[in-house]
């Protein structure tokens, strides 16, 4: 019954994706055919962005509190957990760096000049905030009360409270477990509300795209295409060059051989736009490949929350695109600060529809309020970028498992060569590692 319910949910989500694509195409048509009318549709896109902004504080609070708990649990498993977390931190940083370089070279949003026509709300936020010094800024991070951080819409205050609560719960040990479970239930409620809001995405995408195309015409389409192509290019560079080089130098494995072995999982992710759909299969196939069960059991689930390379690149490209499109370019220092915040805030929200947009909006609201309205520009093309995000996250976690298996001497290289060469195929019917070990004669010719 659970499987049937999950299948129904995936089917409904598929219809939502189709509706978003249809709304984007309709918005483009309206923007080109009736520019003046299309500009009046801007409140439609803004309304959807405001719904996303409404969820920023609860999403960040619950994911950070639970994320700190996950980090601590992962570190307790010893060598594998420590290596995994260290590797994830390094790779996320590299993904951010590559995204920054490509985003600044491509400049996908340059030339749109959307500030005057589409960002009046952002100007109002800046005017209300006024100029403040370093001392005022640091004081503003401290909320009036513990609860006011969650109701006042101040993202940095929410982050501070979430960090304090998370570490406090960990220091309480078993006494804090019931509260942590309560936060987990709260997170499920928050994400359920967020998934309900995402059903308004077609309407929001229609209004946002229509207004953008109405304001800039074909230049807007060109810029949106540039940011998508730039994102795909950055993901490809990261997976095949960076991760491929790491895999070859550390474990002596060809990245194309490994990805070909996981071909069915990539097709499954491509059809569902979620790497979570392939979680049971990738664990079974990597065990079959020769990685020990403890390593796969620790690295894969932890990586699904903490090794979001594709999401890091997405947040980078989206932020730079919005800043350039709205004629508010950010300094390198501001870019790094903003994106590090986003990567931290996104931990634990993997696979949740709308969580990426909420993280993007939260980061912009905390670091550059004038750019928050630009999230509407991303709504229309987010669907086209979700597959690449999921595929990159999945590839990164699979490669990380092989690398960490090699580092901890929990990878059977002889078996791996047999599997990747096709001489020891995976049992698709059982969806489990083959029980019979390779024959000695096979090992001699491996």
Average pLDDT over the chain reads 76
Predicted confidence at residue 25, as pLDDT, reads 84
- Output DSSP code: residue 34: -
What pLDDT, in 10s, does the model give residues 24-62?
788 888 888 888 888 788 788 777 777 877 877 787 788
Q: Is residue 442 part of a domain?
A: no
What pLDDT, in 10s, does the model give residues 212-229?
777 667 776 777 788 888
How many domains does the chain fold into?
A: 1
CA distance 277 to 39: 39
Q: Is residue 397 part of a domain?
A: yes
Q: Which domain holds residue 176?
A: 2-411
Task: Report helix, strand or coil for 187.
Answer: helix
Q: Is residue 401 part of a domain?
A: yes
Q: Is residue 433 part of a domain?
A: no
CA distance 208 to 368: 20
Predicted confidence at residue 80, as pLDDT, reads 78
Query: What does the block give as tokens for 46?
Result: 């803004």
- Sort 133 into a burial class: Cβ within 10 Å, 0-12 / 13-18 / 19+: exposed
CA distance 100 to 69: 30
Higher pLDDT, 248 or 426: 248
Residue 351 has pLDDT above 80, yes or no: no
In sequence order, the β-bridge partners of residue 427 are: 432
Q: Is residue 438 part of a domain?
A: no
Higher pLDDT, 165 or 141: 165
Please state the pTM of the whole predicted model: 0.68
Residues 6+ apart with CB under 8 A from 282: 262, 265, 300, 394, 397, 398
Predicted confidence at residue 442, as pLDDT, reads 42
Q: Is residue 366 part of a domain?
A: yes
Contact (CB, 8 A) for 364 and 371 = yes
Q: Is residue 197 part of a domain?
A: yes
Residue by residue, DSSP assigns 220-269 as: HHHHHHHHHHHHHHHHHIIIIIIIHHHHHHHH---HHHHHHHTHHHHHHH
CA distance 240 to 255: 7
Q: Which residue has the tokens 């490209």?
A: 317
Predicted confidence at residue 125, as pLDDT, reads 34
Predicted confidence at residue 400, as pLDDT, reads 94
Provide, rounded to the nearest whole percent, the portion of the chain with pLDDT above 70.
74
Q: The CATH number of the domain where 362 resides is what?
A: 1.10.3860
Higher pLDDT, 134 or 75: 75
Q: Is residue 440 part of a domain?
A: no
């Amino acid at each position: 019954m659970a499987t049937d319910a999950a299948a129904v949910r995936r089917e409904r989500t598929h219809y939502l994706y189709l509706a978003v694509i249809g709304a984007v195409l309709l918005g483009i048509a309206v923007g080109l055919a009736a520019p003046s009318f299309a500009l009046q549709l801007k409140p439609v896109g803004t309304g959807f962005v405001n719904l996303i902004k409404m969820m920023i504080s609860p999403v960040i609070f619950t994911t950070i509190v639970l994320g700190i708990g996950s980090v601590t649990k992962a570190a307790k498993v010893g060598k594998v957990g420590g290596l995994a977390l260290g590797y994830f931190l390094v790779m996320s940083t590299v993904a951010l760096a590559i995204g920054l370089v490509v985003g600044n070279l491509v400049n996908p949003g340059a030339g749109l000049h959307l500030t005057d026509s589409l960002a009046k709300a952002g100007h109002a936020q800046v005017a209300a905030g006024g100029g403040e010094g370093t001392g005022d800024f640091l004081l503003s991070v401290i909320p009036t009360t513990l609860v006011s951080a969650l109701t006042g819409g101040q993202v940095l205050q929410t982050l501070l409270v979430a960090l304090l609560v998370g570490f406090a719960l960990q220091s309480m040990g078993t006494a804090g477990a019931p509260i942590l479970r309560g936060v987990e239930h709260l997170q499920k409620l928050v994400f359920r509300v967020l998934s309900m809001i995402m059903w308004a995405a077609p309407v929001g995408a229609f209004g946002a795209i229509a207004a953008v195309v109405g304001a800039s015409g074909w230049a807007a389409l060109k810029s949106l295409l540039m940011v998508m192509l730039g994102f795909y290019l950055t993901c490809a560079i990261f997976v095949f060059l960076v991760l491929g080089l790491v895999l070859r130098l550390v474990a002596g494995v060809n990245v194309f051989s490994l990805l070909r072995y996981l071909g069915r999982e990539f097709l499954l992710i491509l059809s569902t736009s979620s790497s979570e759909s392939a979680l049971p299969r990738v664990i079974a196939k990597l065990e079959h490949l020769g990685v020990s069960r403890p390593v796969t059991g620790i690295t894969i689930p932890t990586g699904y929350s903490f090794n979001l390379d594709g999401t890091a690149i997405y947040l980078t490209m989206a932020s730079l695109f919005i800043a350039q499109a709205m004629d508010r370019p950010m300094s390198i220092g501001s870019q790094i600060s903003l994106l590090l915040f986003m990567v931290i805030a996104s931990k634990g929200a993997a696979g949740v529809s709308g969580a990426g947009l909420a993280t993007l909006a939260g980061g912009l609201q905390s670091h550059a309020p004038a750019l928050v309205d630009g999230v509407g520009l991303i709504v229309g093309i987010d669907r086209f970028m979700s597959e690449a995000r999921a595929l990159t996250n999945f590839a990164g976690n699979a490669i990380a498992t092989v690398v960490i298996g090699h580092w901890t001497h929990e990878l059977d290289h002889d078996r791996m060569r047999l599997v990747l060469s096709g001489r020891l195929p995976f049992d698709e019917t059982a969806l489990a590692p083959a029980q019979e070990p390779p024959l000695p004669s096979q090992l001699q010719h491996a």
